[in-house]
Structure 1
Amino acid sequence: MTEHIKIGAVPPRRHFIADGIQRAFAYPFPIFATEDMEVHLDAALQTGGFAVTGSGSSAGGTVIFDLAPAEGVQVTLLRRLPYERVTDFLESGALPARALNDEYDYLTACVQQLADDASLTLRYAATDLPASSLLPGRAARANQLLAFDGGGNPTVTPAIDSEALGSFVAPGAGAVRRSIRDKLADVASVKDFGATGDGIADDTLAIQAALTAATAVFVPPGLYRVTATLPVGYGQTLHGSGAGSIIRADGAGFPVILLPDSYACLHHLRIEGGTVGVKLTGRDGPCVQNAVHDLTIWDTETGVVLDGGDSPDRPCYWNNLARVLVVRHLLHGIHLVRTGAGDTPNANKFHCCRVYSLGVPSTGSGFHVQHGRYNNAFVDCEANLSTTAHSCFRIGPDTDKTLLVNLYTESVGGVPNVYLEAGSIETSITNLFSASGGPAIWDQSGGEFTAYNAGYPAKNRFKRSQVTDLTVEAMRYETRFVDPVAGGVVTPDMTRSVHLVSAFNGAVEFRLPAPGAAEGRSLTIKKMDQSGNVVMVTDATGSGPDGRPFPLGGRHDFVTVVSNGAAWWITAAHLVPGNAGFLEGAPLFEPDLSRSVYLVSAFGGATEVRLPAPSATLAVGRTVTIKKSDISGNAVTVTQGGGGGPDGEAIVLAGKGHAVTAMSNGAAWHILARNP
């Protein structure tokens, strides 16, 4: 007996996702004839372009396409039988088993088909116990909506009228009916114009199309990749839902968002990459009264730029920026500049704006007002920068009346907190918290600023500042201790006002810079050690204060000098009274006049003490006493360079205690006292 088809417990449906290469798709359920196979590509029923094998086989067969379905297309293979019986058994005729088997196989296949169709319908769960599954009658359900009552049974509810389905009425008195289309058009979404926000597709054209078509454009949460600038024009609004609405520049060389005109609003977005995150400039008209707030801007070269542009008729005035965070910028956080012949950005207001390097080695400034002639104001703003930055706040040479209020500035290095360039005018600084290691205010403007409560915790720590009228209640000096290992030449640290010098290891020449390089500077040099080595104060011109080298011979001797640009001048000096030297063991001594008294022993033989020539720089104005200290009969003779001695003669000190005191007036040594 010929084998009949066996209908197994296999659903008569099979789904595949095409890969663009596969042409043959196997089906595991039997069919009686090739016309029993339905083939669908996605939702489309196919009537050709394929061949079916395996009809009549219990194990199924294969559908072979002439061309492989495209990648991603769903292929559905479905057994579909007509519900009919076209055979009949004869009365009292033969009843062969094959005929019965074929009839039962067909009926079983039809039951499977019904079960498969039923599995795609809405139905009660097997465990559900509804009181009724009957629909309300025709008259009851006419013009009604199908619903379910408190018991979960079918019922009806009044239908919403077509006008209500197509219109909207806001709650509250005075509301008028509007169409849903008009209501939805109030704010357009970039997704209405094809943006995907998946971070992969290029959403530039979709967002630009939205901005072309609508006044207010919403950016739903997502990552929107753009490859060109997005202009937000006159009176337009572009906004998102916060940091989850991300617009990321793919590539550099362009501003991500441009505000080229007036009265635009940009808010609640995260902007990433690009040469500039947000640029405001009068390209299409005056760039005034734009509002930029609640933005985070990451990984740009410069976060925000306000540019005066090319035309004075299209200025960049009266724009408002609030709660803007710029993070990991490469150059400037917020930059005010004029790149053409237009006016400087003026009267713009910044409130609660923060610039944070977050470890990125930025090379510019947190806030750089390069050009801003009048009344740009920064209130409650912060710059926290890397050690490579130029400054936290930088006020440029083309600025006037810039207002800085309640600022916080910080860097782990010596970055200046506020840097005022030469040419800046009337900058006002109030409540500056300067947490950077650099100067609180580095003034190059020549004093063209005012500061109040500025520079905490080191208030008003300025550089190069000019003060017209100064009242000082307490003053501190930066001090340096100098102790060369072998004496020799040392030069001052010009950032310190007081130098404490030790000559313990050898005589020291303390060489001041040329006076022209230190105009207005005042230094105090004090000898700290007890040795007989001299600290000689000179300058780089080969001279010294008051035109001559100045010796500090004894411990605690000091001199205070000031440069007027032409010379160093002594303003104060101190030589300790009784500062004496003891000379012994040589037939000739030439004292350096670093001491006021020399005690000379001639015990080993007659001794000559030769004073410098009276016109020598070391001698003019100096007073010195020479005294014989030993009991021998050897004489101590006091002479002077060039011959002669005090009052024109060599003075002989023959006995112990004999002494002479002489003073040089530059022309001669004159005796002031003599014993005997």
Structure 2
Amino acid sequence: MTGHIKIGAVPPRRHYIADGTQRAFAYPFPIFASEDLEVHLDAALQTGGFTVTGSGATSGGTVTFDAPPAEGVQVTLLRRLPYERVTDFLESGALPARSLNDEFDYLTACVQQLADDALLTLRYAATDLPASSLLPGRAARANRLLAFDGGGNPTVTPAVDADALSSYVAPGAGAVRRSIRDKLADVASVRDFGAVGDGIADDTLAIQAALTAATSVFVPPGIYRVTGTLPVGYGQTLHGSGAGSILRAGGEGFPVVLLPDSYAALHHLRIEQGSVGIKLTGRDGPCVQNAVHDVTVWDTQTGIVLDGGDSPDRPCYWNNFARVLVVRHLLHGVHLVRTGEGDTPNANKFHCVRVYSLAVPSTGSGFYVQHGRYNNAFVDCEANLSTTAHSCFRIGPDTDKNLLVNLYTESVGGVPNVYLEAGSKETSITNLFSASGGPAIWDQSGGEFTAYNAGYPAKNRFKKSQVTDLTVEAMRYETRFVDPAAGGLVLPDMTRSVHLVSAFNGAVEFRLPAPLDAEGRSLTVKKMDVSGNAVTVTDATGSGPDGRPFPLGSRYDFVTVVSNGAAWWITAAHAVPGNAGFFEGGSLFEPDLARSFYLVSAFGGPTEVRLPAPSSTLAVGRTVTIKKSDVGGHAVTVTQAGGGGPDGEAIVLVERGHAVTAMSNGAAWHILARNP
């Protein structure tokens, strides 16, 4: 050292990041000799390839490299002194000031070096409570990890199995070892792909990337703002942790989640806003066997849409919904529709699906099956709507065989509970609790539905049901009163069993439908007025019951008929008109006793009227009158099968008007009246 240097408050360390062109790097602290300076490139100590200038200068100096360090390399310049005395003072010798200054400078530099090293060590904060710094003994800490106990004092813990950190074995017999990377890949999180979930950042691309990369994608709790549709493809699962995992549309006019194919699952999520919360349609293939459960949909135009689309080869069938809530929709809660030339949504199952407008003025329906044929089933579902809604449950014109079981429908206004449009067919409604002020069932289908325990006015209705063994405690008949203004043709209402007809304003023809169109149906027609105008029962084939028009001439006359598909037959009647037979032109007449009065002509020759044996099924309890109707001289002789006749003898009727009336008691025919 040629002169005295001063050790100032300058840290003995300096870092640089090389740019690939700079060769000279300054050090602002003093060194006593060039060998006191350590030069590092990144972590490597350099022993050559550079020149040090400025040793012994208070202001420091420069390190100049023979070649510029590479771009991005960290350059570290560090003063390192050996801990030693550099001056020896002699006993009673001279004590020059410079010697003292040099010694103190060196010692001060060593102290700075210690302080700088201390900055790189773990240490207690000045404000920390006192704690032990004594390590456990060698034997205690061998093959173990340093840790801290509950008081913050050093302790040891078992060493980590490095192999366990890189692999995973599930508990249980037969489990195999897998890498941690492979284990974590079982379920991907949208956050693995950059989703933020703060409700502000656009997470659309991140979630779409996750769905592209993984089969099962998890949505952790958070609000994930999306500006485009999220497609959940074939066999994929998109799931969250419940109502805290929110997918929120950051715009209008698009479905938030789309299921365009088959075997996908969507569950434990909350979906908000957008034109549609969840849409199912066969875009990439048939849209079948998808499962949506434990999902809530809020503040959408329409909550859920099932669309038959534009291709019959990509139908929307056999999808399942369970424990789904649609809240504050503006149009429809659940909508089954066909927007193109595809098939209608069929055989989809909805269980415990609730649509709740929560005072939002929705204008559509809670459930709207606009297009849907063959066994779409809605079980334990609910629609609770505002007074502006069209209907709680609506069955559209292109529907067939939809099943509604255990429905709950409610509105504080007059909203129809179930609305059946014209064209809907064979809707089945069972156990409808209709709490809206509107009609329980507003039927525009013409009776194309069945209902059981389904609320006023059609609480219990079965159609085309076959019962093998039926016990009825109380039978009620649907009755219609008919009073045409001027008589004429009347067609029956086939949903009614009894027709009370007035002919007071003119004669009435009551025309039954063709027997084939009413197979198995039974109707009763009764005349109610006191006029002399008749009610004549005919049928659409031009005939009538039992093959002829049946007149009801007096008040309270009635007839009950049934169709077997080939003809209408009388099963009961009051004062059946024309219940007489006429026989002419034979020597033997054997009456079938279907009538109680027979006119017999013997004009062409003697005639025998042979009654059946009194014990025959046709005879027992029957009364019959035989009367000679011709003016000729031939006799009409009344006998019985097996010989004899009424009261044991053949009865001869020789004059016109002669008659005999007899009744069988099963043992014999007995005469009740005779002329002469």
TM category (shorter chain) comes to 0.5 to 0.7
2:116 to 113, 138, 156: 113
1:93 aligns with 2:90: no
Name 2:188's counterpart in structure 1.
188
CA distance in 1, matches of 2:445, 2:239: 41
SS at match of 1:210: helix
Whether the aligned pair in 1 keeps the contact of 2:452 and 2:462 (CA below 8 Å) is no
Instruction: Indicate how the Cα distance of structure 1 residues 395 and 210 shifts in structure 2: closer, same or farther if over 3 A, else same.
Output: same
Cα drift, residue 385 of structure 1: 1.1
Matched AA of 2:226:
V
SS at match of 1:352: strand
CA distance in 2, matches of 1:222, 1:212: 21
1:217 aligns with 2:213: no
CA distance in 2, matches of 1:224, 1:449: 45
Name 1:424's counterpart in structure 2.
424
Name 1:383's counterpart in structure 2.
383
Whether the aligned pair in 2 keeps the contact of 1:330 and 1:362 (CA below 8 Å) is yes
Cα drift, residue 165 of structure 1: 2.8
Name 2:279's counterpart in structure 1.
279
Name 2:158's counterpart in structure 1.
157
Paired residue total: 416
Name 1:169's counterpart in structure 2.
169
Instruction: Indicate how the Cα distance of structure 1 residues 284 and 571 shifts in structure 2: closer, same or farther if over 3 A, else same.
Output: farther
What whole-Å deviation, never above 9, does each CA across 1:630-661 have from its counterpart, x for those lacking one? xxxxxxxxxxxxxxxxxxxxxxxxxxxxxxxx
Name 2:632's counterpart in structure 1.
none
**Unaligned segments of structure 1, at least 5 residues:** 14-30, 35-54, 58-77, 476-518, 521-544, 548-569, 573-676
CA distance in 1, matches of 2:326, 2:149: 56
CA distance in 1, matches of 2:331, 2:306: 15
What whole-Å deviation, never above 9, does each CA across 1:334-360 have from its counterpart, x for those lacking one? 000000000100110100001111121
SS at match of 2:383: strand
Cα drift, residue 204 of structure 1: 1.4
CA distance in 2, matches of 1:571, 1:388: 48
SS at match of 1:454: coil
Cα drift, residue 127 of structure 1: 2.4
Name 1:127's counterpart in structure 2.
130
1:322 aligns with 2:325: no
Whether the aligned pair in 1 keeps the contact of 2:132 and 2:154 (CA below 8 Å) is no
CA distance in 2, matches of 1:246, 1:318: 27
SS at match of 2:97: coil
1:460 to 457, 471, 487: 457
What whole-Å deviation, never above 9, does each CA across 1:187-234 have from its counterpart, x for those lacking one? 111122222222222221221121112111111111111111111111
Matched AA of 2:135:
S
Name 1:269's counterpart in structure 2.
269
Whether the aligned pair in 2 keeps the contact of 1:135 and 1:154 (CA below 8 Å) is no
Instruction: Indicate how the Cα distance of structure 1 residues 474 and 443 shifts in structure 2: closer, same or farther if over 3 A, else same.
Output: closer
SS at match of 1:460: coil
Whether the aligned pair in 2 keeps the contact of 1:447 and 1:467 (CA below 8 Å) is no
Matched AA of 1:330:
L
Instruction: Indicate how the Cα distance of structure 1 residues 466 and 431 shifts in structure 2: closer, same or farther if over 3 A, else same.
Output: closer
Cα drift, residue 105 of structure 1: 6.0
Larger Rg: 2
Name 1:615's counterpart in structure 2.
none
SS at match of 1:271: strand
What whole-Å deviation, never above 9, does each CA across 1:57-87 have from its counterpart, x for those lacking one? 9xxxxxxxxxxxxxxxxxxxx9986556799
Of residues 404-413 and 166-175 in structure 1, the stretch that sits farther from structure 2 once superposed is 166-175
Whether the aligned pair in 2 keeps the contact of 1:136 and 1:154 (CA below 8 Å) is no
Matched AA of 1:369:
V
Cα drift, residue 176 of structure 1: 2.1
CA distance in 2, matches of 1:156, 1:304: 55
Whether the aligned pair in 2 keeps the contact of 1:80 and 1:113 (CA below 8 Å) is no
SS at match of 2:454: strand
Whether the aligned pair in 2 keeps the contact of 1:7 and 1:108 (CA below 8 Å) is no
Matched AA of 1:187:
V
Name 1:206's counterpart in structure 2.
206
Cα drift, residue 104 of structure 1: 7.2
TM-score, structure 2 as length reference: 0.54
Matched AA of 1:160:
D
Name 1:402's counterpart in structure 2.
402
Of residues 233-242 and 190-199 in structure 1, the stretch that sits farther from structure 2 once superposed is 190-199
Give the alignment of 1:480-495 within 5 angstroms: none
Name 2:514's counterpart in structure 1.
none
Whether the aligned pair in 1 keeps the contact of 2:12 and 2:113 (CA below 8 Å) is no
TM-score, structure 1 as length reference: 0.54
Matched AA of 2:161:
I
SS at match of 1:409: strand
What whole-Å deviation, never above 9, does each CA across 1:605-647 have from its counterpart, x for those lacking one? xxxxxxxxxxxxxxxxxxxxxxxxxxxxxxxxxxxxxxxxxxx
Taking only aligned residues, the RMSD between alpha carbons, in angstroms, comes to: 4.5
Matched AA of 1:241:
S
CA distance in 2, matches of 1:118, 1:161: 26
SS at match of 1:368: strand
Matched AA of 1:454:
A
SS at match of 2:283: coil
Matched AA of 2:439:
P
CA distance in 2, matches of 1:384, 1:90: 100
Instruction: Indicate how the Cα distance of structure 1 residues 84 and 129 shifts in structure 2: closer, same or farther if over 3 A, else same.
Output: closer
CA distance in 1, matches of 2:273, 2:439: 32
Name 1:489's counterpart in structure 2.
none
Name 1:599's counterpart in structure 2.
none
Cα drift, residue 235 of structure 1: 1.0
Whether the aligned pair in 1 keeps the contact of 2:413 and 2:436 (CA below 8 Å) is yes
